[in-house]
Each structure stands twice: as C-alpha cells, then as structure tokens.
Structure 1
Amino acid sequence: MARIVMKFGGTSVADLDRLRNVAARVQREVEAGNEVAVVVSAMSGTTNQLVGWCQGLSSLHDAREYDIVVSTGEQITAGLLAIALQTLGIEARSWAGWQIPIRTDGAHGKARIEAIEGQELIRRMGLGQVAVVTGFQGLGPDNRITTLGRGGSDTSAVALAAALGADRCDIYTDVDGVYTTDPRIVPRARKLARISYEEMLELASVGAKVLQTRSVELAMKEQVRVQVLSSFQDLPGTLVVDEDEIVEKEIVSGIAYSRDEAKLTVRGVPDRPGVAAAVFGKLAAENVNVDMIVQNISEEGMTDMTFTVGETDLPRAQAALSAVQPEIGYAELLADINVAKISVVGVGMRSHAGIASTMFKALADKGINIQVISTSEIKVSILIASEYTELAVRSLHTAYGLDAS
C-alpha cells in the first residue's frame, strides 16, 4: 500500500466526461489499496474568465478580492470531482486550501506556501476517504484566501505530498511525460523514463512547460518523487527523481526553447564603477527579472550592455531605463523582441568537455548567428533570431544524438 498525491490540470478536468475519467483513475488507485489525495486545477478556461472579470471592472483591483474571485475555479472542480467519486461508491470529500489549512505568506496573487497542517487529511485517508484538494490556493496570515500564481496547482500538489509523507506525486497533464524536446518540433524526440530534479528545474526555467518551476524546486528540496503522466492515455510517464536514482546519465537530456524573450541593449554607457549597479538596480526595483547578460568595453572608455528580459516585462524595463538615462548618461537604448532562447541541459555536462563547441558548430553549419551566450554547470543557453527557432532545435537535437532510432 502506498500514499499517493494525484494532481490533475485544467485540460484534464475540462468537462464532466473528463471529470468522470479522472474519477475512474482515482478509483483504480483506491482499489489497488492506496491512500489517495487529489489536487485539482480549475476547469480549462475558467481562471482566464475569472481574471478577465476582475480586470474588466478595474485594472488596479484589490489583490485580496482578486484572490477571492479566481480561487473559486478550483473549488468548483473539487466539489464536482468529489461528487463523481461518490457516484462510483468511493468515500470522498472536497477540501479548500483554507480548510486544511495550507498556510502561505501574504503576497496575494503570488503567495508562497509556508506550512501545511495535514494531520486530519492523513487520519481520514487512513480510514479510506479520498481527499480532493483545491490547488493554487491557501490561507494568508490575515486569514484571507491567497493564490499561488499561474501554475500554482503543481506547487500545491508537491507541497501536499511532502506534508503527507507521500510515496509519490503523480502530475497528470495533456502530455505523457518529459521529452528530449518539444515533439511538435522534433517528431523523433524521445520520452525520458527518468530525469533528475536539477535537469527538470533547468528545463522548466528555460521554456519547457511540462512542470512549473516552483514545483520542481520544492520537489528537489523536499525529495518528493514526481511522476509526469497523461490524463488521456494509459502510458508509462517520466519520473523526476534525485540524480543518484539515475544509473545511466545522459550527457544531454533535453533541448528547451523560449520565444517569450526580449533583448535590450544599452549603448554608449560610460565605463565607470557603479554603472552596472545603476542599470540593474533600477530594473530590480521595478521587479524586472534579467536573464542573460553580456558587456563589451570599447577602446573609447564606453561600454555596451546587452541583456534579456521576459517579453511581457519589456515595457516596464524600457520605462525604467529611460528614467535613469540622465543619471547614467548612455547614448541609446535598443530593444528587439524577435529573439528566442535555446538551451541545452544535462547533468553529464559536469564531466564531459565539448558540449558548447558541439552546439556552436551545429548552429554555424546551419548559418545561425549566436547573439548572446550564458552557461551554468549543467546548461548552455544561447539567444538567436526567433525565425531560426525550429531549425536550431532540430539541429541540436540531432547533433547531441537525441533522435529516436
């Protein structure tokens, strides 16, 4: 007998037929003798509608009331799934985040989980009751409902699995596992049986949308074994585990891409101490996250700074840098949204040379120019013109021997 947390995303619970399908999957686990908690998202499209209503009334809405509104989507799903399970003769009960409670900080709209008091859930699961828990939400220090931000249900599921001491957290979604790259771009992409927390975290942070970044961070910290599975097909999934559980470590595990990038270049910046602090300090003050950074120093004592931000952050970044132009004294600010970030990820990079050179040669052979480069211990990322995204991904997938035979 095992204790399992099962999480189902919006497409998995999009209508009543899909809710019945979810109930049948939960029933199989219960009949196998497992203790089960289920975490659910809102039905597909519901959260967007609720957000739209808030924004339609006021673009500067009260974040506390916003959380009250958008959290209702998960409550609908939880109640409906509990009814579907009861119809199958399974004892089930829905739980809102505040009822458990899942305690968070007070950052409404992007709260972080601080503690889960799971003793009552554990007691009831031991008696055979299935707990159907609303994802994406919790209870703030002022006893008001909070939400965790987009993709927060993954984080809810992993946090609940840690609090319950679950043997595994199964994330059901519209893909059947983690692939070496996007199968829509590379039909010969391979599904990975296992991937390490670190690799999954890097892939999630650079564009792979299978798991939400915060959920992977939490799984790695709490050592929760996560499995990614399809809601619509009975196929083996991908286990996200500690690196020590993977015997055969791939040099490169995956190729990720992101088109949601913008490149900013600050030209003609006086080369003096404190200039970089002034540029990036202002961006930090405006909550603009900066990713890749390159700085070039010319012979005339001036420097150019090039860096990337999320495309949605570009207007704020431009406004922030325009505001400090008199203080910094730069000559020109250039922006480019026609860029894409391509990343090669693998724990095997720690012990193998030549990963970057393989990347650069493969792109050069296709006539693709590299604009910016950044690296970490298990990742190499480059910025290229967005029109070459698919060509670059296919070329690199082949160059690293990832194509399925």
Structure 2
Amino acid sequence: MPVLVMKFGGTSVATLDRIKRAAKKVGVEVAKGYDVIVIVSAMSGKTNELVGWVNETSPLFDAREYDAVVSSGENVTAGLMALTLQEMDVPARSWQGWQVPLLTTSAHSSARIEEIQTDNINAKFGEGMRVAVVAGFQGLSPEGRITTLGRGGSDTTAVAFAAAFEAERCDIYTDVDGVYTTDPRICEKARKLDKIAFEEMLELASLGAKVLQTRSVELAMKYKVRLRVLSSFEEQSDEAGTLVCDEEEIMEQNAVAGVAYSRDEAKVTLISVADRPGIAAAIFGPLADAGVNVDMIVQNISEDGRTDMTFSCPIDQVARAEKAMNAAKAADSINFHDLVADTDVCKVSIVGIGMRSHAGVAAKMFDCLSREGINLKVIGTSEIKVSVLIDRKYMELAVQALHDAFELEKTA
C-alpha cells in the first residue's frame, strides 16, 4: 500500500481530546488505503517542563541524561495516540526512536539523522499493522544512547521518514491552516498560498516565518518530499492547506511570494578597522568559533587605510560577538577603534523565485519603504530574496506597505 507520513505538533496533541481529533484524521487516511506513519511531538508545554526539571536538578547536566529525560514527552504522546487508534479499531502501535531504529550522530541535544532503517516497520505493515506511531525528535547514537534532534526535531523526523519510506506525501499538522503571504496577525490582507516552492519556503523559514523549521525544509528539498501544511483544528479536503513542492509544479508565480520578518536582530559595527587583506577572515573566523550566526555584512569605503565593518546577528548573540571581538583585539588579530551594537532593529525580507525573471523588484521595495519614511540600515540580497535592516518601530508598517506594494493579496 502507498505510505503517507502525518506529523502532529505539540498544540495538535495538547490534550486527550486533541489526540482523538488527530487520530480521526489518521483514520480517514487509513480508510483511503494508506499505510500511515504518524510522527508526534510532546504534548504542548511538556518539553519545556522536562527541560526545567533537568535544569533544576543539575544545572551542569550530563547531555546524555538530558536527552533521556527530554525525549520522554514524545514517548507518552506516541503511546496515547496508538491506544486511541486501537480504540477506533485501527491496527496501530507506537515506536520509539531506538526501536525503528532512527540512527543519529552522537551530538546530544542537536543530533543529526544518519539513517532510518525501514525493515522493522515495513515488516509490521506486512503483518497487518496500518499505523506506526513514531515518537518524533529522538534517535539512537552509535554508542546506543538516546539522542534528541534539537529545535524543530519532529518536523525533521517527519520529512526524513517520508524520504526513507518513499512516502507519497508528508502532511504537517499544526495550529495554522497553511503558509501565508505574511503574518496575518500583522497584515489582515495576508493570503493563504495553495502552493509554494521549496526554495521560497526555505528562505521564509530562515528569515523568520515560524510555520516550518529550516532543517525540515532543507531535507524536503534535497529528497523532493512533497510537504503539505494543514490545520489540525479544521476539517480537511484533499486541496486544503499549502503544498510545498518543486517550482515545476507551480504554473504561474508572482515576482514576490511572501514577506517575512524577524524582530530579534541586532546590528554590530566595528569602527575604524585596518583595511588590509585577511581582515574579514580575522573578524568572522572568531565570530564563527564563538557560535555567532552572522547574516548581512557591509564594509564601508576605505579612507586612510581604515574602514568600518558592519554585520547583523541575532540579538541574543550580541554579547558573544562582543566578547569574541574584544578577545581578538586583545590578541592583536584585529585592531578597531570601537564596537557599536544597535539592538533596536529588525529584519524585513521579500522572497520569491519570480525575482529571477522580474527586473526592478529591489528598486520597488526600496521605493516603497522610502515613501513610508523608513531608513534602510543594511541591505542583503540573494537570487530570490531581498532583506533590509530597519528600526524595529517600523516593522509592522514595513510589512504592511510591502504586502500592498507587491499586491500579494492577489493570485498570479
């Protein structure tokens, strides 16, 4: 039988009633003739509770025991989902990561998937099991210890299973009914997209859209896994939600597919840096070693052999960046006059594969923001996106203005 992967996030399984609602959706797909692999997250709030218990018990915890505790939330949900399906007369059983097995690296709390062995689950499908309920977010290290996959691990688990079992599709059930042109809480004209290309979804996810985690989209794009984002709280038709797919499946495309934003950005400037070969490596090497995620970079025109170097990073990494730069200065790796951090900025981006064939998209964006009196602090571009850093107080205005300027409420 064809295989379908269905993933239910924490809010979708937050209570027993919600687990029953999710199980009914699984039952519908079984009735259509699918063998179903269900990936479940922990019940909403449970993982944070478990993390809190670990920190209270052992602030300098053993990462292996941290994973053993934190992964238990998904085990509970998987067992409850399997029991609920059995009560509906659907042949189902739960699977923990080590039982599949889902093999990972040894990097506890941030492990990466190495292999999903399909023999055990396929054998049970052959014996009449119709639903395998798999605990998401967890796997098995080469040393035989439980590992967890880090933030967004259940989404990544679902896509990886879809790839390994050559599933027809991977349905991600969440608390929103699809991917929108922008955040509908900010722009009431935001429109749900029927389809979006992998590359666009990857950019939107990395630029602040919270619907799908970046790692899961990367994996889906690599293995051509068709993703569908749906609401677990609404009745579904076969055309519901948003399909994330190859751009070849999308007939016509607007120049811009969506507007993304990230509130928690900072702009860091090194003032009066020596302008010499290797200075960029001397700056960004220590930042990388310190785990600072640098995004946009701007270097000013050199005067008298000195220049200013500006970069953006997440606001919670500013202290780490300052420490790395001051350490490099003390070690005479770099020399700068001052370091200035602006933590009152945000990043607003437009994304669309249609930019490849539409000239003037960036100019239209800049003109739109100029007419609203919004000053651009830093600009970053790629083939299918344009991002700007602006004062945070203008974020909502910028999102709404750009959504209107590119008429994203209209279909192509």
Query: TM-score over 0.5 for the alignment?
Result: yes
Per-residue deviation at 1:403? 2.3
Per-residue deviation at 1:119? 1.9
Task: Name which of structure 1's ranges 130-139 and 241-250 shifts more when overlaid on structure 2.
Answer: 241-250
* Structure-to-structure mapping, 1:340-355, within 5 angstroms: 340-355=346-361
In structure 1, C-alpha distance between the alignment counterparts of 2:132 and 2:403, rounded to whole Å: 42
Other-structure match for 1:125 = 125
Q: What SS is found at the alignment partner of 2:296?
A: strand
Q: What SS is found at the alignment partner of 2:176?
A: coil
Per-residue deviation at 1:257? 0.3
In structure 1, C-alpha distance between the alignment counterparts of 2:326 and 2:59, rounded to whole Å: 24
* Structure-to-structure mapping, 1:176-255, within 5 angstroms: 176-235=177-236, 236-255=240-259
Per-residue deviation at 1:298? 3.4
Conservation of the 8 A alpha-carbon contact between 1:271 and 1:297: no
| Residue 294 (str. 1) matches residue 295 (str. 2) | no
In structure 2, C-alpha distance between the alignment counterparts of 1:330 and 1:269, rounded to whole Å: 4
In structure 1, C-alpha distance between the alignment counterparts of 2:264 and 2:214, rounded to whole Å: 16
In structure 2, C-alpha distance between the alignment counterparts of 1:244 and 1:103, rounded to whole Å: 33
In structure 2, C-alpha distance between the alignment counterparts of 1:359 and 1:2, rounded to whole Å: 45
> 1:271-310 deviations in whole A, cap 9, x for unaligned?
1122211111001111211111001133222111110111
Task: Name which of structure 1's ranges 54-63 and 364-373 shifts more when overlaid on structure 2.
Answer: 54-63
In structure 2, C-alpha distance between the alignment counterparts of 1:252 and 1:220, rounded to whole Å: 20
* Aligned-pair identity (%): 61
Q: What SS is found at the alignment partner of 2:27?
A: helix
In structure 1, C-alpha distance between the alignment counterparts of 2:313 and 2:199, rounded to whole Å: 23
Q: Which amino acid aligns with 1:395?
A: A
Per-residue deviation at 1:51? 1.1
Q: What SS is found at the alignment partner of 1:291?
A: coil
Q: Which amino acid aligns with 2:155?
A: D
Q: What SS is found at the alignment partner of 1:329?
A: coil
* Structure-to-structure mapping, 1:68-87, within 5 angstroms: 68-87=68-87
> 1:220-279 deviations in whole A, cap 9, x for unaligned?
101110000000012410000011111112211000000121111111111112221111
In structure 1, C-alpha distance between the alignment counterparts of 2:60 and 2:299, rounded to whole Å: 37
Other-structure match for 1:63 = 63
Other-structure match for 1:315 = 319
| TM-score (norm. length: structure 2) | 0.96
Conservation of the 8 A alpha-carbon contact between 1:193 and 1:238: yes
Q: Which amino acid aligns with 1:392?
A: A
Q: Which amino acid aligns with 1:400?
A: F
Q: Which amino acid aligns with 1:385?
A: D
Other-structure match for 1:31 = 31
Q: Which amino acid aligns with 1:89?
A: D
Q: What SS is found at the alignment partner of 1:188?
A: coil
Q: What SS is found at the alignment partner of 2:160?
A: helix
* Structure-to-structure mapping, 1:253-292, within 5 angstroms: 253-292=257-296
Per-residue deviation at 1:122? 2.2
Other-structure match for 1:159 = 160
| Residue 175 (str. 1) matches residue 176 (str. 2) | yes
Per-residue deviation at 1:58? 3.2
Q: Pick from 333, 337, 342: which aligns with 1:336?
A: 342
Other-structure match for 1:363 = 369
In structure 2, C-alpha distance between the alignment counterparts of 1:101 and 1:302, rounded to whole Å: 56
Per-residue deviation at 1:128? 3.9
Per-residue deviation at 1:3? 1.4
In structure 1, C-alpha distance between the alignment counterparts of 2:266 and 2:94, rounded to whole Å: 42
Other-structure match for 2:43 = 43
| Residue 395 (str. 1) matches residue 401 (str. 2) | yes
Q: Pick from 381, 385, 388: which aligns with 2:391?
A: 385
| Residue 304 (str. 1) matches residue 305 (str. 2) | no
Unmatched tracts of structure 2, length 5 or more: none
Q: What SS is found at the alignment partner of 2:229?
A: strand
> 1:13-55 deviations in whole A, cap 9, x for unaligned?
0011101111111111111221111000000001111111222
> 1:335-380 deviations in whole A, cap 9, x for unaligned?
1211111110000101110000010000000000000001111011
Per-residue deviation at 1:56? 2.0
Task: Name which of structure 1's ranges 54-63 and 38-47 shifts more when overlaid on structure 2.
Answer: 54-63
Q: Which amino acid aligns with 2:43?
A: M
Unmatched tracts of structure 1, length 5 or more: none
Q: Which amino acid aligns with 1:160?
A: F
Conservation of the 8 A alpha-carbon contact between 2:350 and 2:387: yes
Per-residue deviation at 1:404? 4.9
Conservation of the 8 A alpha-carbon contact between 1:136 and 1:149: yes
Aligned CA-pair RMSD? 1.2
| Residue 136 (str. 1) matches residue 142 (str. 2) | no
Residue correspondences, number? 405
Conservation of the 8 A alpha-carbon contact between 1:188 and 1:404: no
Q: Which amino acid aligns with 1:52?
A: G
Conservation of the 8 A alpha-carbon contact between 1:189 and 1:404: no
In structure 1, C-alpha distance between the alignment counterparts of 2:340 and 2:55, rounded to whole Å: 31
In structure 1, C-alpha distance between the alignment counterparts of 2:322 and 2:48, rounded to whole Å: 27
| Residue 98 (str. 1) matches residue 98 (str. 2) | yes
Q: What SS is found at the alignment partner of 2:310?
A: strand
In structure 2, C-alpha distance between the alignment counterparts of 1:55 and 1:270, rounded to whole Å: 44
Q: What SS is found at the alignment partner of 2:211?
A: coil
Conservation of the 8 A alpha-carbon contact between 1:40 and 1:133: yes
In structure 2, C-alpha distance between the alignment counterparts of 1:69 and 1:104, rounded to whole Å: 18
Conservation of the 8 A alpha-carbon contact between 2:30 and 2:130: no
